[in-house]
């Protein structure tokens, strides 16, 4: 039985690197994969999964209107797919997570989804919440706070490095906009 996996972490934990390694492992064994990434994240190149250590791969860019299940079924019908990998999974809609669950349950293809669990206010993203509810396997990828404890929170900062407590849930950025912290330091930074 194919499973739905949710690999989650704070910012800068290596989620994209892990995804690209998993993709490489499948392809090295002659298996075909399908990669998806959020269209909203165009920091490096649209339709590309890029890790901070320089690895990258082309991917299908999805937005809220993309029927990921239909994309996978169509491609699988043409040439068998062994695994579906999704980067920036927090930007999936709950309906898209349901589609990915059906890819596992009906089509029989494992799905590995990688993303943030919470936003800069400590609230769940809708896609992450649905993945936490439906995934067969939840795997936390560890990151480290400045104090050495496990980082679980994503602090949004301004250009001066000051904490931002309000704003839109989604604002694309990297090390210039977000700092991964443990809960204690996250709470202290927000005052």
What digits encode the pLDDT tens for the residues 109-127?
Answer: 999 999 999 988 889 999 9
Question: What pLDDT score was predicted for residue 145?
Answer: 94
At residue 190, the pLDDT reads 86
Q: Was 145 annotated as part of a binding site?
A: yes
Q: Report the pLDDT value the prediction gives residue 23, as an integer from 0 to 100.
A: 97
**Is 88 tagged catalytic?**
yes
Q: Classify the C-alpha dihedral 113-167-146-148 as positive or negative.
A: negative
According to the annotation, is 11 in a ligand binding site?
yes
Name the nearest CA neighbour of 68 among 90, 31, 99, 45.
99
Of 88, 140, 166, 188, the active-site residue reads 88
| Residues 4-141, CATH architecture | 3-Layer(aba) Sandwich (3.40)
Whether the full predicted model's pTM is greater than 0.85, yes or no, is yes
- What is the model's pLDDT at position 1? 87
16 annotated as ligand-binding: yes
Divide the 191 residues of the chain into consecutive groups of 10 and give the mean pLDDT of each group: 96 92 97 94 71 88 96 96 97 98 97 94 94 98 94 88 75 70 92 79
């Amino acid at each position: 039985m194919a499973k739905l996996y949710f690999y989650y972490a704070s910012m800068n934990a290596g989620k994209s690197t892990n995804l690209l390694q998993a993709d490489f492992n499948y392809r090295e064994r002659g298996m075909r994969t399908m990669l998806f990434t959020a269209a909203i994240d165009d920091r490096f190149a649209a339709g590309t999964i890029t890790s901070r250590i320089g690895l990258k791969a082309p991917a299908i860019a999805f937005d809220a209107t993309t029927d990921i299940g239909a994309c996978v079924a169509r491609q699988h019908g043409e040439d068998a797919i062994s695994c579906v990998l999704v980067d920036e999974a927090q930007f999936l809609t709950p309906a898209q997570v349901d589609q990915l669950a059906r890819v596992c349950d009906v089509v029989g293809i494992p799905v590995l989804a990688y993303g943030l669990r919470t936003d800069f206010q400590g609230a769940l993203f809708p896609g992450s919440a649905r993945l936490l509810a439906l995934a067969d396997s939840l795997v936390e990828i560890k990151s480290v706070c400045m104090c050495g404890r496990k980082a679980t929170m994503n602090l949004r900062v301004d250009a001066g490095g000051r904490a931002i407590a309000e704003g839109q849930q989604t604002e694309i950025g990297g090390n210039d906009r977000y700092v991964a912290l443990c809960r204690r330091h996250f709470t202290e930074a927000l005052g």
